[in-house]
Amino acid sequence: MFAGWGRFVYRFRWATLAASGVLLAISVALLMMGGTLTSGGPLTSNLQSAKAGNLITSELGAAKVTSNFDLIFRSDTLTVSDPQFQAAVIDALAPIQSDSRISKMVTPYNVPEARVAQALTSKDGHEALVSIELNSSGQKAWKDYDALRAEVKSSTLTVTGTGFVAINQAFNKTLESDLQRAEYVTPPVTLILLVLIFATIVAAGLPLGVGILTIVGGIGGTFFLNRFTDVSQYALNIVTLIGLGVSIDYSLFIVNRFRDELARGQSREGALATTMATAGRAITFSGLTVAVGLSAMLFFQGTFMASMGAAGAIVVAVAVLYALTFLPAMLAVIGPGVNRLRIPWFGRAASGGGFWAGLANWVMKRPIVVLIPTVAFLVIAATPFLQLRLANGNVDMLPTHIEARQGYDRLLADFPGQDQTTFNIVVNYPDGSPLTANRIAEQYTLERRIAAIPGVLRTSSIYDVDPKLGLFEYTQLYTGDPNNLPQPVRQLISSSVGKHVVLIQASTNAEISSNAARDIVKSIRADRGVTDGKVLVGGATAIDIDVIQFIYDQVPLAVGTVVLVTYVLLFLLTGSVVLPLKAVVLNFLSIGASFGALVFIFQQGHFANLLGFTPQSLDPSIPVILFSIVFGLSMDYEVLLVSRMHEEYVRLGDNTAAVASGLEKTGRLITGAAAVMFTVFMAFGLAEVVIIKAIGIGLAIAVAIDATIVRSLVVPAVMRLLGDVNWWAPKPLRWLYERIGIGDLGVEPEPMLRRPVVVDVPERAEEVAVGAR
């Protein structure tokens, strides 16, 4: 099938190139049209915290204000109460005081209540907080903030901008600069590596060209996806990260195999047919396994990861498409010219001998000696993962030199109450009014129980109007004629009581994602005192708990599905039921080691100063994203290595010889491909946003471990020990595999009278008559 495709592309090479040109034109058009990417994803609506937030919005009209920003004015010598400080603040705000883009501005000098003014003054009295609400939202709010912030200046006070709009804009700008930095660094370094691998400029340029086409196609496909669903701004980083890596990876194997076949004396058509039947088949299965790995993120609907998984699958599909169409068509046109512009200082590695031949023979001699220490190392490297702590990412993911991050840190540290965590407790009665005598009693006693929970500073609700009032008085007050209520009580009811709900708020000094704050939420949720309604807890800590639990709940199904589908794909590739199982087990070893490194670096803080980040709990999305990508990429190398071993097994008929020959012939290429991948990922490791930095460095470590320790040592050692069992399948499955017909490699077994191949084994150097079984 794949050989036939290679001959088809050769015969219609110009038409294939024209079709590729049309695809490129469509991709560019979609890219130019662009789209509106989101800074996150909608919180899945079945989470308790989401339900609480939705009830607050629908019943109380308390929609979250998202278009606001803060300005912090500071003087080391003057205090907020000094007339000079006040005059300086008023002068600095004068240019925007009457700006139509502002709906509300609150300063310590224009609020009537002294307690509010005190909350807008820092603890040391040297800083004033100004809160500004905008009429605009989204990206328009970002532009308005930029324009307004530029107009606020002071020669007396330092001014720092922060708040929701400023922080979100900072994330967007930093992500854009991270992406640009990776795009600037990756191509030249990748080209150098490809030149080292191929030793010719033409051969090195082809994979890089396919990589650029893939990124354009992937980004265009992502913007097309954005027309039907929300897509996270992180998706573009994933498209570039994965697209460049896998496209160059696949192209490298195609170009190398084509050159090998030409060197064996095949015609262009024959070389292309064999290349597609072997390397083309391998990268098709590899692309499928990578896409299956990325599809794990699709199980997390309601989060930004779902769009990242879809975007990743799109770019992998584009990479495989170009590798099976544009690239072979170009090779058909160029032919032997692929070896032109040779670099004189570098010679192409011989097909036999050298480092990889020596390593292959060494592993074949001592499989147990190789296996025990390498597996022990991987297990030890994975142990930090046992200390994994998850928490939703916050402003700490921004670098400390960003103004919005600096302002946020000062806001928490310097202003009273800003470092407190608030819990929104919604008591919901779907069948009627919440203000009946029995229900009032339930709410009153619930609030008192919440106030008694260790760590809770205070509670507030309609039952805190006057400390002198008790349950009897509140029941009389709220079951009577509402027209008789005092005006302040009416205002409190309008913001705290809906048609079916009552809102109770509690606060603590514990940090949002701390264990202490989580324990308070769990204690409130464990309360069973309300029997006539349902208690829902919202707020940042509740969201933190719910998102983490949601991810934990989805992991078994996501991982199980990915493993099962991957197992089937590997069976279709090899015709074996043993090799897929071996691949999955070794994949988890590789993933575990990379997860351990991630915790060691980003959670425990090793190399934090060197890499420039604030140590913190890992965002729940990071392990999911890392697993999805690493599982797919590990299978990528597994497919490329084992498919060549399978090819050699069909040709040679001996497991030990096939494993040694497969490692010898692919080791250099896999290492080169891994070096390219490592470069691409480390370019993203230079990112300033922690989530991108963690993914980049985590992937770089995973690729380094997988291509060196796992694929070069562990895989061949295990396959040497398993012997012919590697290729075993029950007769019904073997019949099915042969019936499907995609196992044809276009490779014939060697004649029995061929020259013996010498393969070293532990006991002695055996001469294995190739093909003699």
Nearest Cα to Cα of residue 493 among 54, 59, 52: 59
Tell me the per-residue pLDDT of 142-161, one tens digit each, with 9 for 90 and over. Answer: 999 999 999 999 999 999 99
Q: In whole angstroms, what is the distance from residue 25 CA to residue 217 CA?
A: 9
The mean-pLDDT minimum among 125-139, 566-580, 631-645, 738-752 falls in: 738-752
Closest CA to 503 of 64, 66, 59, 63: 59
Least confident of 171-185, 435-449, 494-508, 736-750: 736-750
DSSP 352: S
Question: Is 768's pLDDT higher than 60?
Answer: no
Question: What's the pLDDT at 632?
Answer: 85
Confidence (pLDDT) at 748: 53
pLDDT more than 70, % of the chain: 93
Q: For residue 442, which phi and psi values (nearest 5 degrees)?
A: -60, -45
**pLDDT value at position 37?**
74
d(CA 268, CA 411): 68
Residue 751's pLDDT is what?
52
At position 262, the amino acid (one-letter code) is L
pLDDT digits 0-9 by tens, 302-323: 888 888 899 999 999 999 999 9
The pLDDT, as a whole number, for residue 761 is 40
* Three-class SS state of 407: helix
| Mean pLDDT in residue range 170-187 | 87
pLDDT class of 741 with cuts at 50, 70, 90 = low
Contact assessment for residue 280 and residue 254, using Cβ atoms and an 8 Å cutoff: yes
Q: Check pLDDT > 80 for residue 725.
A: yes
Annotate 286-317 with b (16+ C-beta within 10 A) or e (fewer): bbbbbbbbbbbbbbbebbbbbbbbbbbbbbbb
* CA–CA separation, 627 and 297 (whole Å): 9
Q: Phi/psi at 84 (nearest 5 deg)?
A: -65, -40
What DSSP string describes 589-634?
HHHHHHHHHHIIIIIT-TTHHHHT----PBPTHHHHHHHHHHHHHH
Indicate the pLDDT class of residue 754, thresholds 50, 70 and 90.
very low
Query: How far, in Å, CA of 79 to CA of 334, rounded?
Result: 75
Q: What is the average pLDDT score of the chain?
A: 87
Mapping DSSP to helix (H, G, I), strand (E, B) and coil, where does residue 47 land? coil
Supply the DSSP symbol for 750.
P
Q: Residue 352: which pLDDT band, with cuts at 50, 70 and 90?
A: very low
Backbone phi and psi for residue 226, each to the nearest 5 degrees, phi listed first: -65, -20
The DSSP secondary structure of 350-365, one letter per residue, reads PSSSHHHHHHHHHHHH
> What are 504-528's pLDDT values in tens digits?
999 999 999 999 999 999 999 999 9
- Of 64 and 647, more confident: 647
- Can you say whether residue 255 is alpha, beta or left, with left for phi > 0 and alpha for psi between -120 and 50 degrees? alpha
More confident residue, 64 or 381: 381
Task: Yes or no: say if 252 and 207 are a contact pair by the CB < 8 Å rule.
Answer: yes
Kindly report which listed range (263-272, 392-401, 663-672) carries the lowest average pLDDT score. 663-672
Edge-to-edge strand ranges of the sheet holding 158-162 = 102-106, 127-134, 68-74, 158-162
Report whether pLDDT(233) > 80: no
pTM for the predicted model, two decimal places: 0.84
**How sure is the predictor about 62, in pLDDT bands with cuts at 50, 70 and 90?**
low
User: Quick one: average pLDDT of 571-584?
Assistant: 90
Least Cα distance to 202 among 259, 158, 151, 147 occurs for 259
Identify which of 578, 748, 719 has the alpha carbon closest to the alpha carbon of residue 656: 719
pLDDT tens digits, 662-707: 888 888 888 888 888 898 889 889 899 999 899 999 999 999 999 8
Residues of the chain by 3-state class (helix, strand, coil), percent to 5: 65, 10, 25
Residue-level pLDDT at 357: 82
Q: Dihedral (C-alpha) 356, 360, 366, 370: value to the nearest 10 degrees? A: 60
Radius of gyration of the chain (CA): 32
What is the b/e burial string over 171-199, where b = at least 16 CB atoms within 10 angstroms of the residue's CB?
bbebbeebbeebeebbbeebbebbbebbb
Of the candidate ranges 177-186, 208-217, 332-341, the one whose mean pLDDT is the lowest:
177-186
621, 691 contact by CB (below 8 A): yes
pLDDT above 50 (res 766): no
> How far is residue 288 from each of residues 140, 149, 281, 294, 587, measured CA to CA in Å?
40, 48, 11, 10, 16
- Residue 60 CB contacts under 8 Å (≥ 6 apart), including other chains: 495, 496, 497, 498, 501, 503
Which residues, 6 or more positions from 614, have their beta carbon under 8 angstroms from its beta carbon? Answer: 396, 400, 608, 690
CA atoms within 13 A on the CB side of 71: 25
Task: Name 159's bridge partners.
Answer: 73
Query: Pick the residue with more confidence: 64 or 622?
Result: 622
What is the rounded distance in angstroms from the CA atom of residue 466 to the CA atom of residue 489?
A: 10
CA distance 771 to 340: 37
Mean per-residue pLDDT, 37-60: 79
Q: What pairs with residue 262 in β-bridges?
A: none
Confidence of residue 642 (pLDDT cuts 50, 70, 90): confident
- Of 180-189, 467-476, 592-601, which gets the smallest average pLDDT? 180-189
- Strands 501-508, 534-538: pairing kind: unpaired
pLDDT, mean of residues 629-656: 84
Start-to-end CA distance of the chain, whole Å, equals 28
Phi, psi for residue 400 in degrees, rounded to 5? -70, -15
Q: How many CA atoms lie within 13 A of 666 on its CB side?
A: 34
Backbone torsion region of residue 341, taken as left when φ is above 0, otherwise alpha when ψ lies between -120 and 50, otherwise beta: left
8 A C-beta contact, residue 274 and residue 3: yes
pLDDT over 50 at 771, yes or no: no
pLDDT of 770 over the 50 cut: no
Question: Of the given ranges (132-136, 288-292, 750-754), which has the lowest mean pLDDT?
Answer: 750-754
Residue 765 in this model has a pLDDT that exceeds 60: no
Report the pLDDT averaged over residues 542-555.
Answer: 93
Contact 110, 55 (CB under 8 A): no
The span from the CA of 721 to the CA of 728, in Å, is 14
d(CA 555, CA 534) in angstroms, rounded, equals 28
Structure confidence at residue 758 (pLDDT): 38
- Nearest Cα neighbor of 750 from 638, 639, 661 is 661
What does the pLDDT read at residue 39? 62
How far apart CA 317 and CA 315 sit, in angstroms, is 5
DSSP states of 106-145: E-TTS-S-HHHHHHTB-TTSSEEEEEEEES--HHHHHHHH
161: three-class secondary structure by DSSP: strand
Give the number of residues written for the chain. 773
Looking at 147-156, 196-205, 251-260, which range is the least confident one? Answer: 196-205
Residue 350 predicted with pLDDT over 50: no
SS3 227: coil
